[in-house]
Amino acid sequence: MVEGVIRILMMGFFVVIAGMVAGCNSDSLGQGGVREYYIAAEEVIWDYAPTGQDLIHGGPIPEPWNGNTQWTKLRYIEYTDESFQTRKPQPEWLGILGPIIRAEVGDTIIVHFLNRTNRYLSIHPHGVRYDKDNEGAHYNPPGEGSMVPPGGSFTYTWIADEQSGPGPNDPSSIVWWYHSHVDSTSDIYAGLLGPIIITKKGMANPDGSPKDVDREFVTLFMVFDEADGEERGLMHSINGYIFGNLPGLVMSSGEKVRWYILGMGNEIDLHTPHWHGKTVLYNHRRTDVVELLPGSMVTVDMIADNPGTWLYHCHVADHMDAGMMAVYRIE
């Protein structure tokens, strides 16, 4: 009888433990700091060439894009606090991308999301750890944060665990995607996408950036389809800019510069970013061209020791002709 009672008690103990484990959510996993972000989705008019000029070759934007560079987009906009009144300044080179979400391995990321558009949206992260309600992707069975209605809000909680951070052969920080995932294709083409950067434990500055890097840039190579496949609406852009209109890729001579290179889009989005004037270190090899497929996330390092203004572009011939080009400057 005593043995039977012990067995019942032990069974009850394991049931309680199992319930505790099952009830654990993302909030209880992070062992580091907490990083909070206030991000709204908003409708904007986006201009792929705000100067109206082909700044690579000189002269006006060529046909068929001349006069067709402004389109209605949706963007992720960062604010300073829960009032969603004061925008947080962003580097001009981020372009159409949403704000950089940063964390050090071990941190908890809390994103307060406000949907100011007229459609259901979400924020789905790559790479970080989350439970079902914080996945931000609409499919069966749906989680609570999978569809945020117009005017609605949701607070996502993600964990930058060890498997979110750099691997044994990676540099001290790596890049991941985040994007809306209700109607994923439509949401991404609308402009709802941005970067997550995770830094190795012990290698992060207070703001989450890596200690061993002087400057960082994030660049997205993507053909935004604005007119159902019509050439005038195929915007072969870097961070949402064409024909050299991407501003701000400026660095100082001697700096260690980390480039986070992203690809997204369709079967035409096979890109080969190429730097003139410098090489980069990528996967423990030297190159000046990297390969991108849709959804790709690549991190490379450059020593900026060749002063000048240099071309930075996709090396796919059709994409060059359509304006997937920018310049970077080493001062």
Our CA dihedral for 176, 179, 208, 200, rounded to 10 degrees, sits at: -20
Q: What pLDDT score was predicted for residue 12?
A: 42
Is 179 within the bounds of a domain? yes
Q: What is the pLDDT of residue 30?
A: 65
Backbone angles phi, psi at 47, to 5 degrees: -110, 115
pLDDT for residue 83: 98
Q: Is residue 113 part of a domain?
A: yes
| Rounded CA separation 51/70 (Å) | 12
The residue annotated as part of the active site, out of 314, 322, 325, 327, is: 314
Residue 6 lies in a domain: no
CATH of the domain at 109: 2.60.40.420
Is 261 within the bounds of a domain? yes
Q: Cβ(143)–Cβ(92) under 8 Å?
A: no
For residue 245, being part of any structural domain is answered with yes
In a domain, 45, yes or no: yes
What is the percentage of the chain residues whose pLDDT exceeds 90? 89
Is 260 in contact with 301 (CB distance < 8 Å)?
A: no
Q: Is residue 314 annotated as part of the catalytic site, yes or no?
A: yes
Integer distance in angstroms from the first to the last C-alpha of the chain?
A: 84
In a domain, 229, yes or no: yes
Phi, psi dihedrals of residue 311, rounded to the nearest 5°: -75, 140
C-alpha 126/C-alpha 96 separation (Å) is 19
The answer to whether residue 16 is domain-embedded is no
Average pLDDT per block of 10 residues along the chain, 331 residues long: 41 37 44 94 98 97 96 98 98 98 98 98 98 98 97 98 96 98 97 98 97 98 94 96 98 98 97 98 96 98 98 98 98 97
Q: What is the pLDDT of residue 228?
A: 86
User: Which residues lie below 8 Å from residue 213, measured CB to CB, with a gap of 6+?
Assistant: 172, 173, 256, 257, 258, 301
Structure tokens at 144: 């609570």
Structure confidence at residue 21 (pLDDT): 34
Predicted pLDDT at 108: 98
Q: What is the pLDDT of residue 9?
A: 40
Written as one letter, the residue type at 48 is Y
CB 309 within 8 A of CB 231: no
- What is the residue range of 220's domain? 34-330
- What integer pLDDT is reported at residue 328 of this predicted model? 98
Number of domains in the chain: 1
The predicted structure's pLDDT at residue 29: 54
